[in-house]
Structure 1
Amino acid sequence: MIDFTIAICTYNGEQRIAEVLERLESQVDTENFSWEILIIDNNSTDNTASLIREYQANGSSPYPLRYYLETRQGLAFARQCAVENARGDWVGFVDDDNLPETNWVAAAYAFSQTHPNAGAYGGIVRGEFEVDPPPGFEKVSSFFLVRERSTQQYIYKKKDKILPPGSGLVVRKQVWLENVPSVLFLKGRVGNSMLASEDLEAITYIQNAGWEVWYNPEMTIYHKIYCHRLEQDYLVSLVRGIGLARHHIRMIRLSFWQRFLFFPLYFALDLWRFSSYYVKHGYKKGVDLGTTCKIEFLYSTLVSPFFLSRKYLFEAKNRLLEKS
Structure 2
Amino acid sequence: MTTEISVITCSHNPRPDYLKQVLDALKAQTLDPRRWEYLLSDNASEVPLDTAVDLSWHPRARHVREEKLGLTHARLCGIRESLGEVLVFVDDDNVLEADFLDQAMKIAKEWPRLGAWGGQTRPAFDAPPPEWTTRYWSCLVIREFDSDRWSNQPSAENTVPGGAGLCIRKSVADYYSELHATGKRRILMDRVGNSLVSGGDTDLAMCACDVGLGMGLFTSLKLIHLISAFRLTEDYLVRLVEGIAYSGVVTNSFRSTNGNVPVRKLSTSLADFVRLMIRNRRDRRFFRAVRSGKANALRVLQSKQ
Give TM-score, length-normalised by structure 1.
0.83
- For residue 142 of structure 2, give the secondary structure of its aligned residue in structure 1: coil
Q: Percent identity?
A: 23
Deviation for aligned residue 1:268: 5.9
- For residue 25 of structure 2, give the secondary structure of its aligned residue in structure 1: helix
Identify the residue that residue 224 of structure 2 maps to in structure 1: 222
Q: Please, which of 68, 71, 74 is the counterpart of residue 78 of structure 1? A: 74
Could you tell me whether the CA contact under 8 Å between 1:108 and 1:170 is conserved in 2? yes
Separation in 2, partners of 1:32, 1:69: 22
Alpha carbons of 1:139 and 1:291: their partners in 2 closer, same or farther (altered >3 Å)? farther
Counterpart amino acid of residue 148 in structure 1: E
Counterpart amino acid of residue 76 in structure 1: T
- What whole-Å deviation, never above 9, does each CA across 1:290-319 have from its counterpart, x for those lacking one? 563244224422443014445x48xxxxxx
Deviation for aligned residue 1:272: 5.7
Q: Provide structure 1 residue ranges, at least 5 long, that are not aligned to the other structure.
A: 314-324
Q: Provide structure 2 residue ranges, at least 5 long, that are not aligned to the other structure.
A: none
In the alignment, structure 1 residue 212 sits paired with structure 2 residue 201: no
Deviation for aligned residue 1:156: 6.1
Separation in 2, partners of 1:13, 1:159: 33
Q: Please, which of 165, 174, 177 is the counterpart of residue 177 of structure 1? A: 174
Could you tell me whether the CA contact under 8 Å between 1:244 and 1:301 is conserved in 2? yes
Aligned length: 297
- For residue 171 of structure 2, give the secondary structure of its aligned residue in structure 1: helix
Alignment of 1:127-206 (within 5 A): 127-155=123-151, 157-162=153-158, 163-180=160-177, 181-182=179-180, 184=185, 185-206=187-208
In the alignment, structure 1 residue 249 sits paired with structure 2 residue 247: no
Q: Please, which of 287, 297, 302 is the counterpart of residue 304 of structure 1? A: 297
Deviation for aligned residue 1:195: 1.9
Alignment of 1:59-70 (within 5 A): 59-61=56-58, 63-70=59-66
Q: Please, which of 108, 113, 122 is the counterpart of residue 112 of structure 1? A: 108
Separation in 1, partners of 2:224, 2:33: 25
Counterpart amino acid of residue 38 in structure 1: L
Q: Please, which of 83, 87, 106 is the counterpart of residue 91 of structure 1? A: 87
Deviation for aligned residue 1:212: 0.6
Counterpart amino acid of residue 285 in structure 2: T
Root-mean-square deviation (CA, aligned residues, Å) is 2.4
Deviation for aligned residue 1:19: 1.6
Alpha carbons of 1:21 and 1:248: their partners in 2 closer, same or farther (altered >3 Å)? same
Identify the residue that residue 279 of structure 1 maps to in structure 2: 277
Deviation for aligned residue 1:79: 1.2
Could you tell me whether the CA contact under 8 Å between 1:247 and 1:305 is conserved in 2? yes
Separation in 2, partners of 1:199, 1:270: 29
Could you tell me whether the CA contact under 8 Å between 2:115 and 2:213 is conserved in 1? yes
